[in-house]
Amino acid sequence: MSINNFSKVVIVAKDEWRYWFRSKLAMTVLAIGLVLTLASVIVTAITMMELSHSRHELQTSAEQSFVDQPDRHPHRMVHYGHYAFRTPSPLSTLDPGIDAYTGNSIFLEGHRQNSAMFADSRQGTALTKLGSLTPAFIVQTLAPLLLILIGYSAISRERESQTLSYLLSQGTSGATLIAGKGLALISVVGLILIPLTVSALFTLGSGEGLLAVASFVLGYALYLTVWVLLVLLASSVFSKNSGSFTTLAFVWILLCIVIPRVASTTASTASTAVPSAGKIETDFAVKAELRKLGDGHNTNDPAFKQFKQSLLTKYNVSSIDELPVNFRGLVASESEAKLTSVLNKFAQQRMQAELNQTKVSRYFGWVSPMVAIRSLSMIVVGTSIETHHRFLRETEQLRFDFVQGLNKVHVEKLSYQDDMNRNADTAATQKARVSAQNWQILQDFTFNVDTPEVRTQRSIPAFLQLVLWIAVLLGGIKFVGRRLL
């Protein structure tokens, strides 16, 4: 494009802004849009920071109370257990995603994998079923409506008031006119993105990577560009303002309100291809498999016969009483390891099933840019289902480590005889204890989301979806632009 052409484009864009400044409707819509975006950025940032702070605190106090426990039988501590809390990622101040929909704390104990408890949505008012005051919702759903309201008549208005033929005959090409109107709308997009970008840049201070911040802002810029192009296309195609408006309103309802829900509904119910059994249901299967492993509390369980024999051979003794280590602890440790591998197998299956479901709903990004940006945003921010799965995996590792750490203490620091006598009388119970020093085996836990690189890589399909939308729309506008009259 030559310089001359570009300055023409700028003139058209300036003129569009002049028109908006004179229109009460456009100014009201713009003001409301900006206020909402700003308010959502501030409110969500405060909420998420408070959440992050309180979960950090809970995590520290959980670790403290574990370490502060008195002298005990080590297996008591296995059942005393530990708590892990999911601290939200820095960028979640812009898109809390599924944070409120999954439990945010998990109780870790021996022999069991508990599910996460206390989802915030269960303490909610059910008022935010349709939408919430988060930047993600405002920009994904309401910003397109704003663009429609101020832009639907961009070209059709000129046509309806018969200034279009005049403009075109004066030497302004159709492409220049559309580009100018587009530039004006893009500048509105820029305005909307300012609070988002500023807030995103702030997260750099709390450890977020530049790549994630850049992907986040770029994703939203692409998404709103899709809407700018849609508005331009409709406005160029229709000869009347009302036709352009009705079509755009209809498209908005379809893409922003209907398809996202159709996507999630299809993924969870209509598609019997990927059903996901609940935890209770898989627990039955887990239990059946575990029964074969034997009960780790009961050293006489026939399942441990072979284990016992191999130990006797290893230490070259004839009975378990002669073993230099605590047999009960060894059984506990052995059975915990086996049990965990079974539990992990089933947990892995469940997560995979959930992931498959989610993928089905994400495919709808090809038909609705809103679905694309929704997944992109949650993935990049680190509030998608993958993050929750990561939390489950990391806490499982934490659980296994501290339980096996305690079992090691059980094996090495508690004599088998004392252990067997533990219920005889009060003195024997006292004797079957180990020092509280041993509780230091607990490792500090801080949950961190995947690295920015991993998250960005995961969001590539969603980026492609948006880019495809833009390419198709640009093609359409080019086609229409040549035949504007």
Partner 1 sequence: MSYLLKQLVREWRFLLRQKYLVVLLVCTFVMSGFAVYSGLSEVTQQKQTIERLKAADLTDLTNVQHKYDDAGSLAYYSFHLTYSSPSNLAFAALGERDIYPWKHRLNLLALEGQIYESDAQNAELAQAGKIDFVFVLSALAPLVIILLFHDLFASERTSGRHDLLATTAKSYFALWGARITVRFIAVIICLMLPFYVGAFISSSVLGDVGFITFICVIYLAFWTLLSVWWGKNASSAPRVASTLIGFWVLVAFIIPILGDLAINKVVHSPKGGDIVLTQREAVNGAWDIPKQITMDAFVANHPKWANYTDMQSEFEWKWYYAFQQVGDEKAAKLSHAYQDAARKKYSLAGFVSWLSPPLLLQRGLTRMAKTDAVAAFRYESQMRGFHKSLRTFYYPWLFVKGNPPKAALENMPSFSKTILNEQKKLSNVLAQPEQNLSAN
Residues within window 256-315 making contact with partner 1, judged by CB under 8 A: 257-258, 260-270, 275-276, 278-281, 283-284, 287
Pick the closer one to partner 1 by CB: 162 or 313: 162
Q: Should residue 236 be labelled a site residue for partner 1 when binding is judged by CB under 8 A?
A: no
Q: Should residue 459 be labelled a site residue for partner 1 when binding is judged by CB under 8 A?
A: no
Q: How far apart are CA 242 and CA 234, in angstroms?
A: 11
Shortest distance (Å) from residue 394 CB to partner 1: 17
DSSP class of residue 122? G
**How many chain residues touch partner 1 (CB under 8 A)?**
98
Is residue 67 within 8 Å of 445, Cβ to Cβ? no
Q: How far apart are CA 143 and CA 148, in angstroms?
A: 9
Pick the closer one to partner 1 by CB: 10 or 355: 355
> Cα angle vertex 278, ends 122, 260, to 5°?
65
Shortest distance (Å) from residue 239 CB to partner 1: 12
Q: How is residue 214 written in tokens?
A: 């850049």
Is residue 111 within 8 Å of 275, Cβ to Cβ? no
Residues 348-367 that bind partner 1 (CB under 8 A): 354, 357-358, 361
Shortest distance (Å) from residue 196 CB to partner 1: 18
SS (H, E, C) 428-468: HHHHCCECHHHHHHCCCCCCCCCCHHHHHHHCHHHHHHHHH
Q: Which of 242, 437, 446, 448 binds partner 1 (CB under 8 A)?
A: 242
Q: Should residue 101 be labelled a site residue for partner 1 when binding is judged by CB under 8 A?
A: yes
Q: Is 397 exposed, middle or buried (0-12, 13-18, 19+ CB in 10 A)?
A: middle
Is residue 228 within 8 Å of 190, Cβ to Cβ? no
Shortest distance (Å) from residue 403 CB to partner 1: 15
Residues 16-35 that bind partner 1 (CB under 8 A): 25, 29
Stretch that binds partner 1, among 10-18, 149-157, 164-172, 199-207 (CB under 8 A): 149-157
Dihedral of CA atoms 198, 50, 136, 115 in degrees, nearest 10, equals 140
Q: Which of 81, 209, 461, 476 binds partner 1 (CB under 8 A)?
A: 81
Q: Should residue 115 be labelled a site residue for partner 1 when binding is judged by CB under 8 A?
A: yes
Q: Should residue 449 be labelled a site residue for partner 1 when binding is judged by CB under 8 A?
A: no
Shortest distance (Å) from residue 344 CB to partner 1: 19
Residues 176-235 that bind partner 1 (CB under 8 A): none
